[in-house]
Amino acid sequence: METLSYETVIDAPVQKVWDILWSPETYSEWTKYFSAGSIMKSDWKIGGKTYFLNDKGEGMVSTIDSLEEPYQVVFKHLGVVKDGIEDTQSKEVMEWNGSFEKYFLIDFDGKTKLHTEVQVDNQWKDHMDTGFTKGLIVVKSLAEGVSLDAV
């Protein structure tokens, strides 16, 4: 398991960046580089259920390990959802079960430093690099009100 981290400074307040990260209207925009049509469903409770799903309803089942809205959230990945069934016990899942995905938003005089970390197997490194690198550009442009064409 390797921990990858990504960071950007956004000329927008922390709450605005948080809302762009997690609002259903904008979540699918910045996460399209991971999977087109991505959605997140969460009860936003520590120890509750959070689902990161593609347009077919398949993806990951996770829980929130730590939450301090709008400054940080830590997701702990528990398993996968495939064909409507949650798998948290198979051998394949147990190899990465418990891995973390972390988001930290730090206020710098009205600007926001967004720092993300994700634990992944080496086989997913390129996918995560592409998803987060391109995705955070989208978050930044949405928060700053800049057209992606101008980026």
> CA separation (Å) from 105 to 95, 98, 112?
29, 22, 6
How crowded is residue 124: how many other Cβ atoms within 10 Å of its Cβ? 15
Q: Would you list the domain boundaries of the chain?
A: 2-145
Answer whether CATH 3.30.530.20 is correct for domain 2-145: yes
Task: Supply 28's token pair.
Answer: 């699918």
Per-residue pLDDT band for 149 (boundaries 50, 70, 90) equals low
Share of the chain above pLDDT 90, in %: 72
Nearest alpha carbon to residue 76 among 112, 39, 49, 40: 49
Q: How far apart are CA 13 and CA 18, in angstroms?
A: 9
pLDDT of residue 63: 96
